[in-house]
């Protein structure tokens, strides 16, 4: 039976931001004019990890995967002409979420907006950063405290704001199974709410309402029926947790509220036009079931496996949402899966397995303990290994990648401007702008504000108001980050590689034999350094390369994410490695690889071959090889064992030349 009144559509978003605040502002206003109903802001890696554009670790990263926001002036430009009181703004920010929310609140104050009317979301899920995306800064305990500060402050000051998106999206990107996505995300929510309750920052009688402001950000993959059932399982399990663990009696406060970006991991570089169908199918998984429908949807562009999407590419994804919402009868009916025996059986099976996994994590002491012990990270590395082995073996079909490879040349990917690139001058201009900002501010006011921020952090007081005061005084992102680093320290999360267990998928015997042969000629075990220079925290590829190299018999040096080129070259020198592999997915490969190559030559390591992996356009691949890079691997090179064989051949050829 049709509904008496048609449902309202979800919020339409595209995830966007790059180059400069002014460029991103133009893009936002254009997208809003095309019918987008909410903003989803992507920040660059220095902003996400609390560095200014002129920091050594920011080299090559400024404006690449998002917009650089170094101070209040940048935030003003980002939202120029966009009334924040009328906008629903999602900000993908985690370790520095209090700071970016402080800048947002300061910008809204300048616009004359009522804070109590501001609507939107700060992602603010630090646990998944330790597991998948890598933009953590501080150790788990103070990071969880900062999350609590944001929740408590927004509850009082910005009651319509969602202070946290429990983010299972990146768990799936890191290889999580549906059960792991359910359990790890819900365990994160429990850890945050337990900490919130223990803090006493919100009166017990008002705690259920605070629970209702916790939202989720999920992923949807290609296993269409499973994804529908996963979302229905999420709603059921969250309702149970809210009622039984926290005593939330009002059903509306137990509602599972979530936004979604569908799977970017599954987008393919070969035959990228096929990604349009993948994106549509994945969107259906989170919109068809009325009882578990997303509140907001943002879709990747069809060509994101190739590079940054152009405005036209983002428009294509926006139109996909609008056609489903306005041209079909989807919003006219009640839940079309209610009463289905198949759906109910699958939902309950997922719930049962997720409850068991939640109990295991709870017995360990909760999500933070499961991070610190590397349990969750290890499980994700194992799951991702199995996923990749299935693709390599052909058991998991990916059209255009391991089956149906024959193709016509695509008219969509040819010619100049087929993907968007960030000009090299953006970084230099950001640094000059930062210098001008510092020169024009009141340094005494800045020092006072930072002193108060440091005191609040050290004394355990809520840091939101001191952070807003810092924003208004002209403090920069790097200064805010450095102040809290002094108080809390920095953290390096476990890689999960050392303990990850996997079956030897595929035939490794030939590669193992080659490793033994070459190691014999070298006089010691072939040693492979896997490095992640810069601020790119997407470590999945590096982890899988490290695991496969180890399983092929190589000695592997992998120290995790966020290393400077100098640190990588120093490790290569000290460890006496035979080959260096660099993994860079942020688009910063040219600047970072150039730096590494120059430092290796200066250190006498010019005979040590360097291989590079990432999302690298053909013209950049040619430039990297002109620098002396021995091989470049992109997402189309999905056969990891073949990559290992290639690496061994490169080392062997170099050894033969040296002999």
Separation CA 8–CA 592 (nearest Å) = 47
Tell me how far CA of residue 376 lies from CA of 73, 366, 367, 405, in angstroms: 39, 11, 8, 36
Query: 246 and 208 in contact (C-beta within 8 Å)?
Result: yes
Per DSSP, the three-state class of 547 is: helix
Tokens 């799951």, residue located: 383
Helix then strand count (H, E) for the chain reads 25, 15
Per residue, the 3-state secondary structure of 264-300, as one string, reads CCCCCCCCHHHHHHHHHHHHHHCCCCHHHCCCEEECC
Query: 134 and 561 in contact (C-beta within 8 Å)?
Result: yes
CA nearest 189: which of 169, 165, 224? 165
Which of the following is catalytic: 18, 128, 472, 532? 532
Separation CA 596–CA 567 (nearest Å) = 10
**CA 77 to chain CA mean position, Å:** 25
CB atoms within 10 A of CB 18: 22
CA nearest 17: which of 56, 52, 66, 55? 66
Burial class (CB in 10 A: 0-12, 13-18, 19+), 217: buried
Residue 246 annotated as catalytic: no
In this structure, the strands spanning 579-584 and 527-531 are parallel
Angle at 459 between CA 454 and CA 461, to 5 degrees: 90
Residue 71 annotated as catalytic: no
| Tokens read off for 590 | 């040219």
Which of the following is catalytic: 130, 136, 155, 169? 169
Which of the following is catalytic: 71, 170, 346, 379? 170
Residue 538 annotated as catalytic: yes
- Please, which residues bridge with residue 399 across strands? 403
Separation CA 284–CA 243 (nearest Å) = 29
Residue 503 annotated as catalytic: no
Separation CA 446–CA 472 (nearest Å) = 9
Which of the following is catalytic: 346, 538, 578, 589? 538
In this structure, the strands spanning 527-531 and 15-16 are unpaired
In sequence order, which residues have a C-beta less than 8 Å from that of residue 90 and are 6 or more positions away?
13, 38, 39, 40, 41, 120, 121, 123, 165, 259, 296, 298
Give the active site residues.
15, 169-170, 532, 536, 538
């Amino acid at each position: 039976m049709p509904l008496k009144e048609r449902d309202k559509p979800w919020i339409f978003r595209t995830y966007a931001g790059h180059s400069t605040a002014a460029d991103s502002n133009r893009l936002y206003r254009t997208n809003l004019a095309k019918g987008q109903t909410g903003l989803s802001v992507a920040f660059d890696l220095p902003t996400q990890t609390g560095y200014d554009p002129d920091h050594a670790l920011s080299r090559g990263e400024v404006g690449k995967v998002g917009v650089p926001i170094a101070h209040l002036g940048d935030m003003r430009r980002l939202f120029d002409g966009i009334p924040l009181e009328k906008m629903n703004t999602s900000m993908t920010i985690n370790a520095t979420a209090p700071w970016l929310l402080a800048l947002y609140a300061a910008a809204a104050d300048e616009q004359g907006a009522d804070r109590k009317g501001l609507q939107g979301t700060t992602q603010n899920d630090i646990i998944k950063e330790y597991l998948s995306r890598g933009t953590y800064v501080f150790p788990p305990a103070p990071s969880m405290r900062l999350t609590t500060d944001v929740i408590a402050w927004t509850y009082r000051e910005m009651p319509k704001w969602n202070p946290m998106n429990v983010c299972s999206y990146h768990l799936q990107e890191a290889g999580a199974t549906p059960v792991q996505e359910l359990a790890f995300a819900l365990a994160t929510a429990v850890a945050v709410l337990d900490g919130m309750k223990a803090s006493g920052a919100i009166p017990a009688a008002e705690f259920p309402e605070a629970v209702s402001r916790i939202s989720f950000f999920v992923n949807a993959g290609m296993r269409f029926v499973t994804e529908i059932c996963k979302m229905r399982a999420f709603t059921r399990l969250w309702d149970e947790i809210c009622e039984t663990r926290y005593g939330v009696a009002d059903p509306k406060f137990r509602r599972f509220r979530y936004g979604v970006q569908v799977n970017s991991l599954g987008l393919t570089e070969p035959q990228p036009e096929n990604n349009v169908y993948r994106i549509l199918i994945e969107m259906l998984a989170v919109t068809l079931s009325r009882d578990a429908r997303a509140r907001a949807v943002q879709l990747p562009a069809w060509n994101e496996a190739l590079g940054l999407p152009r405005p036209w590419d983002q428009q294509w994804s926006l139109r996909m949402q609008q056609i489903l919402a306005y041209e079909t009868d989807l919003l006219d009916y009640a839940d079309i899966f209610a009463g289905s025996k198949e759906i109910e059986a699958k939902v309950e099976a997922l719930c049962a397995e997720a409850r068991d996994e939640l109990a295991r994590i709870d017995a360990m002491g909760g999500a933070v303990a499961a991070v610190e012990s590397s349990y969750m990270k290890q499980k994700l590395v194992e799951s991702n290994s199995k996923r990749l082995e299935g693709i390599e073996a052909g058991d998991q079909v990916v059209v255009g990648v391991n089956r149906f490879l024959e193709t016509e040349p695509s008219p969509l990917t040819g010619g100049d401007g087929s993907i968007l690139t960030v000009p090299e001058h953006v970084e230099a201009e950001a640094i000059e702008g930062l210098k001008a900002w510092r020169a024009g501010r009141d340094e005494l006011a800045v020092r006072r504000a930072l002193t108060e921020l440091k005191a609040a952090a050290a004394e355990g007081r809520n840091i939101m108001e001191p952070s807003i005061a810092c924003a208004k005084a002209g403090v920069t992102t790097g200064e805010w980050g450095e102040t809290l680093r002094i108080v809390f320290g920095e953290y390096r999360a476990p890689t999960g590689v050392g303990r990850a267990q996997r079956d030897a998928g595929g035939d490794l015997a030939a590669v193992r034999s080659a490793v033994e042969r070459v190691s014999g000629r070298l006089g010691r075990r072939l040693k492979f350094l896997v490095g992640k220079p810069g601020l790119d925290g997407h470590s999945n590829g590096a982890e899988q390369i490290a695991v496969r190299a180890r399983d092929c018999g190589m000695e592997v040096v992998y120290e995790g994410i966020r290393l400077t080129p100098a640190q990588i070259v120093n490790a290569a020198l000290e460890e006496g490695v035979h080959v260096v592999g660099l993994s860079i997915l942020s688009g910063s490969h040219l600047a970072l690889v150039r730096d590494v190559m120059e430092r290796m030559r200066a250190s006498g390591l010019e005979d040590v071959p360097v291989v590079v992996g990432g999302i690298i356009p053909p013209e950049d691949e040619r430039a990297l090889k002109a620098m002396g890079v021995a091989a470049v691997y992109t997402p189309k090179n999905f056969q990891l064992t073949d990559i290992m064989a290639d690496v061994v051949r490169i080392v062997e050829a170099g050894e033969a030349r040296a002999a």
